[in-house]
Amino acid sequence: MSAYFGLHVGRTNSCVSVCKDGKSDVVANDAGDRVTPSIVSFSSEEIAVGLPAKQGLFRNMSSSVVKCKELLSWNGDEEELAKLRSTSVCPVIIKNKKLFYEVEVDEKKKQFSPEDILVHIYRKLYDIAIHHSNAVDESMKAVVSVPLSFTSEQRQAVWKAAEKARFNVLQVISEPAASLLAYGVGQSNKHETLCCLVYRCGGATLDVSVVSVRGGMYSVVSSLHRKQGGDKFTALVANYLADEFQNKWKLDPRESKRSMFKLMGAAEECKHVLSTLNTAHCFVESLHEGVDLSANVSRARIDMLITQLFPEYIGPISEALTQAGLTAADVHKVIVCGGTAKMPRLQQAIQEALPNSELLSNLTADEVFAVGCCNQAAVIGEPWDTVCQYKQVSVPAISKAISVRCGDEEESQTTTVFCAQTPLSSRFSLPVPLGKKHNVAIVDVFEATELVAKLTLKNLPEAPSVAANFHLSSDGSLHVTLTEKITGVTTAATIGTSVAA
């Protein structure tokens, strides 16, 4: 069995996962980390990607590129460009209406497009992946995830970048879909009709998407994008550490940019550790004026610090739901993903905001997309839609819900067979409870509230077992059969559509 890879490149971190023999797992990089920083730094000798680039970030600011995904998703907005420029460590220039990084290598200015940077990151992921599989002749089939908002061209650019890094790209999928696939929502049971909320909070951005799952297919109902991420939390933690440091040594590390850089790194690490452990020891050698920082931070302390920001981070959930025309009670499942969403306190807050939902968090939040991607790769197995023309596919579906009422009494319960917008070509079968008269089985089929068909089996034998089969054919017509299993007596009805198929 060949291995399938799932690639996720985020603004801050990237992840690669592999699906082999039906099992998916994240591939650890050469440093043993399961995620790799999405940072590329150029020097005269080499191009460093990942951890080395991150560690050297404050030394060679002008030759490092961070958050290239931001630039990749730039849509030509001037205001946003200004923001991008402020967040980027190396200068960003516009050439031919496209953005380029101007990186200083060997005192020479070189220009790199975000795609070039992306290629370097994917190549790093390729190295990680190839290291894992130990097989060079593998075809390195991979699925790549991109934000929902990416256009076809942007998806294509990502595809090409991954292909340049020698991956055999099968498909580019959107992040919410990848997250649902990671948990296999609706995949095992086609008849699940669910409403999922994907809460993604990464290093720099926040996305909340509401996805409805019908007939095993995902359709994104609403989606929100916010420019706020874990950086704020990190800043809070760093600030706290700085205060501690100042209290102790009467030295303010905030005076120096370099000290702050070190502190931010320590704070980030501390934050990550506290996502899994209760206390974290934070140590920075020679933080400021030769004095080391050494502090123990407890999770409670951090939780207390970050709670003040929660309204900002929880608010978008209700906003997205309102946009989708739903309420918090309608959400069945919540998927948390992204590095920031790892924080237990944040997950707890999300759970509190959506009380009726099941929080899916058994996968590490920042690995969800990659896992989903490799699952998708395993499903399709071969390249599909190589030009990324299908961001979303329009599938025929029924416009109104179909429900049945078994038994002849008016008060008997109606059961929904197919919800509205269930994609066509679907089947459903259910056992029919008998009415008060034990030898008669009656099934009323409703479309919405309107009775469209009535099926009856009379003179049933003793202890009958009656099942109703519903087949929604691809032309939109509904075929209902009512079968008594012992005698094999069947009655059928075909309900056509008013619109010619």
Partner 1 sequence: MGEVQTVGHSEVFHKLSGACHTDVEPVGRWFRAWWYHHQRNGALSGEGLSVAESGSQSDEEVECSTVEIEDDVEYLRSLDPKEWKDQDHYAVLGLKKVRIIATEDDIKRAYRQKVLRHHPDKRKAAGEEVRADDDYFTCITKAYETLSVASKRRAYDSVDSEFDDDVPSSNAANKSRFFEVFSPVIAANARWSVRSNVPLLGDVNSSRDHVENFYDFWYNFESWREFSYLDEEEKDKGQDREERRWIEKQNKAERARRKKEEMSRLRSLVDAAYACDPRILRFKEEDKQKKLDDKKAKQDAVRARKEEEERKRREEEENKLRIKRQAEEAARARQNAAKREKENAKRALKREREQLHKYGKQFNYFTGDEAELVKRMADLDRLCELLTIDELDKLNKKMAVVSLDCVDQGRTLFDEAVDELNRRIDEEKQQHLGGGLAPGSAASNGGSKKKGGSNQWSPEELNLLIKAVNLFPAGTNQRWEVVANFINQHHGGNRGSKEVLAQAKELQSGDFSRSALKEAANKAAYNKFEKESKAGPAASEESIPSERYETPAEQLGINLTPWTADEQRLLEQALKTYPASLSDRWERIAEAIPNRSKKECMKRYKELVELVRAKKSAQAAVAPPKK
Considering only residues 82 to 141 of the shown chain, the ones binding partner 1 according to CB under 8 A are: 139
Shortest Cβ distance from residue 455 to partner 1 (Å)? 4
Q: At what angle do helices 310-324 and 344-353 cross, to 10 degrees?
A: 40
Choose the binding region for partner 1 from 98-106, 108-116, 125-133, 166-174 (rule: CB under 8 A): 166-174
Shortest Cβ distance from residue 80 to partner 1 (Å)? 26
Cα separation, 326 vs 417, whole angstroms? 21
User: Does residue 492 interact with partner 1 by CB under 8 A?
Assistant: yes
User: Does residue 149 interact with partner 1 by CB under 8 A?
Assistant: no
Binding mask 424-453 for partner 1 (x = CB under 8 A): xx-x-------------------x--xxxx
Give the number of residues written for the chain: 501
DSSP state string for 279-326: EEEEEEEEEETTEEEEEEEEHHHHHHHHHTTHHHHHHHHHHHHHHHT-
Say if residues 370 and 16 touch (Cβ distance below 8 Å): yes
User: Does residue 460 interact with partner 1 by CB under 8 A?
Assistant: yes
Cα separation, 230 vs 341, whole angstroms? 8
Shortest Cβ distance from residue 460 to partner 1 (Å)? 6
Q: Which two tokens stand for residue 379?
A: 């499903």
Shortest Cβ distance from residue 269 to partner 1 (Å)? 34
Three-state secondary structure call for residue 65:
strand
| 228 or 425: CB nearest partner 1 | 425
Say if residues 381 and 141 touch (Cβ distance below 8 Å): yes
Q: Which two tokens stand for residue 212?
A: 């409805």
User: Does residue 487 interact with partner 1 by CB under 8 A?
Assistant: yes
> Of the candidates 286, 298, 356, 494, which one interacts with partner 1 according to CB under 8 A?
494
Q: DSSP letter for 423, please.
A: B
Q: Quick one: which H or E segment has residue 372?
A: helix 368-380
User: Does residue 314 interact with partner 1 by CB under 8 A?
Assistant: no
| 219 or 228: CB nearest partner 1 | 219
Q: DSSP letter for 42, please.
A: E
Choose the binding region for partner 1 from 93-101, 194-202, 248-256, 476-484 (rule: CB under 8 A): 476-484
Shortest Cβ distance from residue 69 to partner 1 (Å)? 20
| 281 or 458: CB nearest partner 1 | 458
| 307 or 399: CB nearest partner 1 | 399
Q: Which two tokens stand for residue 124?
A: 């790093």
Say if residues 331 and 196 touch (Cβ distance below 8 Å): yes
Number of residues in contact with partner 1 under rule CB under 8 A: 85
Q: What are phi and psi of 215, to 5 degrees?
A: 55, 30
| 81 or 452: CB nearest partner 1 | 452
Cα separation, 267 vs 257, whole angstroms? 15
Say if residues 413 and 456 touch (Cβ distance below 8 Å): no
User: Does residue 300 interact with partner 1 by CB under 8 A?
Assistant: no
- Sign, CA dihedral 326-332-335-341, equals positive
Establish how many alpha carbons lie within 13 A of residue 148's alpha carbon, considering only the half-sphere containing its beta carbon: 22
User: Does residue 216 interact with partner 1 by CB under 8 A?
Assistant: yes
Shortest Cβ distance from residue 70 to partner 1 (Å)? 23
Residues numbered 383 to 422 that lie near partner 1 (CB under 8 A) are: 383-386, 390, 392-400, 402, 421
Shortest Cβ distance from residue 376 to partner 1 (Å)? 5
| 155 or 345: CB nearest partner 1 | 155
| 296 or 487: CB nearest partner 1 | 487
User: Does residue 499 interact with partner 1 by CB under 8 A?
Assistant: yes
